[in-house]
């Protein structure tokens, strides 16, 4: 291993934020494609968001802010950036940026979009995360980045002048960086009227985002949200209408970045759009009686699924690395014992089982293993934290085992210390987890609590700014010149 000797010339890549993409160094995530036998265009048309694409494009054209609320798996993260690219929002060197709360999600979504566009990852489509950049300046049109990267870019370009549209994906998680970006981007939009902000949420509490983006009326109340309508579009089918035997060219009606919108559509503050429907249904199961040891119960449920349920991989949600390592060891040991008890009788011997951990402290190479397809004739069990809760699709997941627990950052103001607190997740987070089973085929979700206990959970997770240390946010604001 070579080290930088003091006094010697600095390495060529001293700044980790400005690294160019190297195809050998930046290995793309394997992408699971349930419709790989269909042409790409047909695959995209199968997604629920497809029939809303024209209404979404018109909303982006005519509103400075758009709040998009869509169910898990409808195609928000992968399709909307492509719609914007096709509509001309990346013309004249502009870039569409999509922020995601986790590094793994940024890589996974960028990989999928590059595959659909037939592009090389790092060229037209790229990603930027901490200490890793896979973009080509002047060539990349769609960038998938973590929220912290966008905040750091504001230090050198406060108005984010190279971006035409900025999409905050998974905004319902209400991380501190998300809330900070919302406030800063609203200020930037006052200086850049043609900048568009899209807030994407998978939960139905999007009204709070809309109220924040909308300007108040004279009475002090925000006007009720209205779904935008575009003359010439069929909102039911999402297809262009025919006029005098000719198809309306919707691209000509989209925004011209060099000077206002086309078609005389006035710009308004913000609107709310809802994309209903998911690809597949998920059946939810609850415990009849409360469990005294949720880790042991999770292992038992996994083994029961493996013995009695049809083929399909399993995703288990636990709270942290220690629990995940323990659960993986127990599942492997139980499966070994079951195979030994079956003996030479092939009809009673359980099928092979592949157990894979997934959490934030794992190296990227080990995280990739969770996205690889299981070998033929075996079942894969992924034991993960809430890292797998949003934005990523893991190959073949049909069953979700949810502990309904989560480990979150917390702050004690009395002694000034930060710590991780294990507690019950919110209902919205539990719905997100259940949606992991319905991305590629109908699935099942096994929640390790009673239905009565589930109804007592909070509806939404407490925003991070209300439970964590604000020191880093204040310092970032001071660096940006915000008092």
Task: For domain 16-241+252-275, give the CATH number.
Answer: 3.40.50.300
Query: Which pLDDT score, from 0 to 100, does residue 98 have?
Result: 97
The C-alpha atoms of residue 151 and residue 101 are separated, in whole angstroms, by 12
- Over residues 234-246, the mean pLDDT reads 35
Q: Identify the band that residue 441 occupies on the pLDDT scale cut at 50, 70 and 90.
A: confident
Query: Which pLDDT score, from 0 to 100, does residue 128 have?
Result: 96
pTM (predicted TM-score): 0.78
Query: Which pLDDT score, from 0 to 100, does residue 36 have?
Result: 52
Domains 16-241+252-275 and 282-466 share a fold: yes
Query: Which pLDDT score, from 0 to 100, does residue 97 have?
Result: 97
Query: Which pLDDT score, from 0 to 100, does residue 452 have?
Result: 95
Separation in Å, CA 171 to CA 142, 196, 217, 390, 391: 19, 16, 25, 11, 11
For 17-43, what is each residue's pLDDT tens digit?
333 444 444 545 554 454 555 677 777
Least confident of 47-51, 347-351, 353-357, 367-371: 347-351
Q: Return all residues near 397 (Cβ < 8 A) that are at least 6 apart.
A: 312, 313, 314, 315, 382, 436, 437, 439, 440, 443
Q: Is the pLDDT of residue 368 over 90?
A: no
Query: Which pLDDT score, from 0 to 100, does residue 249 have?
Result: 39
- Over residues 450-476, the mean pLDDT reads 92
Domain ranges of the chain: 16-241+252-275, 282-466
The C-alpha atoms of residue 80 and residue 40 are separated, in whole angstroms, by 15
- Over residues 177-185, the mean pLDDT reads 93
- Over residues 215-227, the mean pLDDT reads 45
Kindly report the CATH class assigned to 282-466: alpha beta
Please, what's the b/e burial string for 392-427 (b: 16 or more CB within 10 A of its CB; e: otherwise)? Answer: bbbbbbbbbbbbbbbbbebbeeeeeeeeeeeebbbb
More confident residue, 455 or 438: 455
- Over residues 85-94, the mean pLDDT reads 94
- Over residues 340-344, the mean pLDDT reads 78
Least confident of 32-46, 109-123, 345-359: 32-46
Going by C-alpha positions, the residue among 128, 149, 150 that lies closest to residue 140 is: 128
- Over residues 89-93, the mean pLDDT reads 93
Query: Which pLDDT score, from 0 to 100, does residue 233 have?
Result: 39
> Which ranges in 87-173 belong to alpha helices (H)?
103-117, 147-156
């Amino acid at each position: 291993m070579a080290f930088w000797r003091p006094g010697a010339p600095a390495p060529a890549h001293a700044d980790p934020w400005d690294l160019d993409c190297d195809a050998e160094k930046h290995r793309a995530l394997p992408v699971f494609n349930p419709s790989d036998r269909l042409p790409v265009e047909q695959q995209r048309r199968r997604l629920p968001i497809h029939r809303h694409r024209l209404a979404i494009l018109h909303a982006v054209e005519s509103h400075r802010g758009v709040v998009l609320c869509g169910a898990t798996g409808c195609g928000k993260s992968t399709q909307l950036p492509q719609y914007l690219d096709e509509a001309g929002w990346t013309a004249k060197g502009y870039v569409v940026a999509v922020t995601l709360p986790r590094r793994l999600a940024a890589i996974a979504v960028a990989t999928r979009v590059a595959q659909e566009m037939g592009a090389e990852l790092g060229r037209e489509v790229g990603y930027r995360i901490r200490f890793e950049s896979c973009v080509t300046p002047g060539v990349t049109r769609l960038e998938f980045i973590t929220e912290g990267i966008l905040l750091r870019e504001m230090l050198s370009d406060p108005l984010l002048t190279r971006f035409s549209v900025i999409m905050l994906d998974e905004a319902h998680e209400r991380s501190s960086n998300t809330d900070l970006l919302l406030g800063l981007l609203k200020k930037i939009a006052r200086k850049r009227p043609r900048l568009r902000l899209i807030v994407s949420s998978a939960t139905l509490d999007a009204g709070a985002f809309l109220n924040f983006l909308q300007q108040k009326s004279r009475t002090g109340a925000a006007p009720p949200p209205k779904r935008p309508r575009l003359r010439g579009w069929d909102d039911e089918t999402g297809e262009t209408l025919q006029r005098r035997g000719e198809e309306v060219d919707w691209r000509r009606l989209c925004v011209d970045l060099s000077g206002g919108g086309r078609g005389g559509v006035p710009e308004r503050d913000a609107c709310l759009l809802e994309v209903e429907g998911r690809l597949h249904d998920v059946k939810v199961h609850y415990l009849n009686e409360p469990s005294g040891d949720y880790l042991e119960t999770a292992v038992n449920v996994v083994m029961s699924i493996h013995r009695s349920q049809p083929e399909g991989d399993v995703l288990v949600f636990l709270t942290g690395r220690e629990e995940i390592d323990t659960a993986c060891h127990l599942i492997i040991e139980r499966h070994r014992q079951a195979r030994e008890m079956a003996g030479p009788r092939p009809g009673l011997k359980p099928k092979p089982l592949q157990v894979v951990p997934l959490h934030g402290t794992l190296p990227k190479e080990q995280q990739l293993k969770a996205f690889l397809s299981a070998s033929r004739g075996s079942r894969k069990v992924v034991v993960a934290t809430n890292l797998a809760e949003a934005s990523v699709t893991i190959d073949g997941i049909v069953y979700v085992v949810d502990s309904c627990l989560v480990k979150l950052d917390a702050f004690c103001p009395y002694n000034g210390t930060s710590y991780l607190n294990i507690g019950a997740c919110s209902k919205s987070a539990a719905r997100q987890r259940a949606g992991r089973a319905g991305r590629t085929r109908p699935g099942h979700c096994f929640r390790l609590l009673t239905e009565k206990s589930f109804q007592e959970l909070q509806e939404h997770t407490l925003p991070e700014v209300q439970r964590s240390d604000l020191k880093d946010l204040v310092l970032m604001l001071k660096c940006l010149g915000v008092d």
